[in-house]
Amino acid sequence: MPETALILIDIQNDYFPGGAWEVDRMEEVAANAARLLTHARKSAQLVIHIRHEAGSDKAPFFRPNTPGAEINETVRPTDTEAVVLKHRPNGFHETDLLDRLRDAGVITLTICGAMTQMCIDATTRAAVDYGFKATVVSDACGAKATSFGGVDIPASTVQAAFLAPLAMSYAKVITTDEALSSATGPDA
């Protein structure tokens, strides 16, 4: 049984350039996630794709049955890889993700995808609350610029503001190169 699972969260077309809800650096994020996915497949890790779908056709993005809600081809699942459908930021909320991980004997999760300030944060915190060890791969996660109280917050600041507390209390936060180097040893 695999002790580690790679969780790819919401790497969906609407987050890419030209999509309905563009996320900063999404092409780079997906390329790094694809590197993690290639390694996970070669090392027989459990791979789970999480896909978000809005509850309404009127939603601003991830509308049901639209190309924007589909997983991007960069990390397209194989026929043997699970795809968990969610409707909230937390990938465990009203899904079978927890059962899948426990049934497989998973202890450690490697988490990547989008958006850092929503689904990555919510799913990572929930994972740790359920007793999993979590690693978040920072350059394989993407944030979106936002505003609050009249203050515009660039994506890079949002990314840092969410990854810093995760690194402090919830997860090991590393880069793709660090993840692949630690997974394959010093000769990689």
Catalytic residue among 119, 140, 166, 179: 119
3-state secondary structure the chain: CCCEEEEEECCEHHHCCCCCCCCCCHHHHHHHHHHHHHHHHHCCCEEEEEEECCCCCCCCCCCCCCHHHCECHHHCCCCCCEEEEECCCCCCCCCCHHHHHHHCCCCEEEEEEECHHHHHHHHHHHHHHCCCEEEEEEEEEECCCEEECCEEECHHHHHHHHHHHHHHHHCEEECHHHHHHHHHCCCC
Q: Is 119 marked active-site?
A: yes
Task: Give the separation between CA 153 and CA 167, rounded to whole angstroms.
Answer: 21
Which residues does the annotation mark as catalytic? 119
